[in-house]
Each structure stands twice: as structure tokens, then as C-alpha cells.
Amino acid sequence: MTAPGRIADRSARPAAEPIIRMIGVDKAFGDHVVYRDMYLDVPKGQTTTIIGPSGGGKSVCMKMIIGLLRPDRGRILVDGADVTEMGEEELRALRRRVAYVFQGGALFDSMTVADNVAYGLREHTDLSEEEIDAKVRACLDMVGLSDDLLDEMPSSLSGGMKKRVALARSIAMEPDVILYDEPTTGLDPKNIAVIGDMILKLQSELGVTSLVVTHDMPMAFRVSDHIAMLSDHKFPFVGTPYEMATSEVDLVRDFVHGRIADAP
């Protein structure tokens, strides 16, 4: 794990009400305990990053937020509505408001870039094809991709481009929240910086709430308003990047300076 580089300065940003609340959550897979009595608030319109050892359950947290996994105990509120009590129709509506950018991008291999970005618009809106085409182009432009890629297939794209196309597909639906699952895994330093730029840009220009799962400490310190550190099945530290970088708590200092190794 790498010690932080540039630290985001969010000191002037006012406190925001949480749009996501996880309250007393337990989750286990057989004998493997992932969360025990876990609490986490995600403030509206800001960027919260979850960090922690690999295999610690960071992605499980995000999948519970959109109902792909259910907690064994506890409540998960999104804008006041309890995800744990939602049926399939309500979950489908939730997933239109809360976009999930999967680690690998999860693009449809048999569809062009244009059709991938347009997929949700065709499935869930009444927009005309002309309106969809305009929106697809605008979303690609938002993530720094050219119209020249519209007819390309995912197999012809680099890893960084695939992740940006997946992000364009997510923002096409104008979500309130974007969940990023390890968005920089497998990317070179240049593309890691590009993805960081995209997270900052979308939060700034669209006002979305972002929840980022990552093991990349420099990335977390750069893009976050708040960082939640996962350890021992819960979040013992939640604070600003500056608060984390200057913490005197041994557990936090050891993590920041790479003295806590990733789990296998």
C-alpha cells in the first residue's frame, strides 16, 4: 500500500445530510464474518471513499446498498427508504437512481459503445432515437471520449476506455448516486489519474453523491471528502483526508503508511 500523495482540501465544504445510512449491519457468508454491527453515513453531494485490505468486504457494502446482497441484520437507508424492505420493482427503481460502476466495466461485448451507453435510456425512458443519440454523445464527451468511438466494440478498447464508457452509461440515467467498485484496478498511472479526474468532475459538475471502493491510497486522498477505513468488520475511522493523514491513532497511522498488508 502506498502512502498518500496530494491530499484533498475539503475544509471549506459544509456538512451535508446523509443520503445513505447503514445502521447496525451484520453480514456473513457461512462462517466468514464480513460486517458486525457496522454503521456508515454517506453525505449527499459529496465523495466518500471506502478503503481497507483486499478481501475485507468493501464491495459487499456497495452491493448491499443496491440490494444485490441482503444484510443478515440491520437497516440500509437510501434517501430515507429502507433497501432491506424493498421488493424487486422498488429495487429496479432504486438502481435507476443509484448507478453501480463495476470493477471490470461490465460492458455488453456484443454491443457497440453507442449501444452500451444508450442501453438504459432505451430500456427505461421514452426518449426518441435522436434524443438518445444526442445524450450518448454528451455523456461520452463528459468522460473525455470522442464520437469516433461510437461504433467501436468493447474488445477494441483499452482498460481505461472501457471504464470511461461504463461511467458514461451510468451518468446517462442521471443518477443521484454513483458507486465505483475499484475503478482504478488494472490501470496504469496515467489512466488512474484520468479516472480520478472523472470522479472529481462528475461530483463538481453534476452534484452526484459518490461512494468509491479502492485500495489506492493516493487516489482516496485526492478525490475524497470523507474516507471510511474498514477494519475488523466495521469502520473504526471515518474522517476527512486531512484528519486521516494527521491521525495519531496507531491503527490509522499503520494503514496510511502501509504497515497493514492486504489480505490474500
Asked whether the predicted pLDDT for residue 218 surpasses 80, the reply is yes
Nearest of 208, 219, 205 to residue 99 by alpha carbon: 208
Predicted confidence at residue 55, as pLDDT, reads 76
Does the pTM of the predicted model rise above 0.85?
yes
pLDDT grade for 104, boundaries at 50, 70 and 90: low
Predicted confidence at residue 255, as pLDDT, reads 84
Burial 15-33 (b: 16+ CB within 10 A, else e): eeebbbbbeebebeeeeee
Residue 169 backbone phi and psi in degrees, to 5:
-60, -40
Least confident of 47-56, 100-109, 204-213: 100-109
% of the chain with per-residue pLDDT over 70: 91
Strand order in the sheet with 32-43: 32-43, 18-29, 73-78, 81-82
Neighbours of 79 (CB within 10 A): 16
Predicted confidence at residue 158, as pLDDT, reads 87
pLDDT grade for 73, boundaries at 50, 70 and 90: very high
Mean pLDDT of 63-76: 96
Asked whether the predicted pLDDT for residue 120 surpasses 50, the reply is yes
pLDDT grade for 263, boundaries at 50, 70 and 90: very low
End-to-end Cα spacing for the chain: 14
pLDDT, tens digit (0-9, with 9 covering 90-100), for 149-182: 999 999 998 888 888 899 999 999 999 999 999 8
Report the top-level CATH class of 18-256.
alpha beta
Burial 143-152 (b: 16+ CB within 10 A, else e): bebeeebbee
Q: Are 178 and 208 in contact (CB under 8 A)?
A: yes
User: Is 123 or 41 the better-scoring residue by pLDDT?
Assistant: 41
Asked whether the predicted pLDDT for residue 6 surpasses 80, the reply is no
Give the start-to-end residue ranges of the domains of the chain.
18-256
Predicted confidence at residue 8, as pLDDT, reads 60
Neighbours of 166 (CB within 10 A): 24
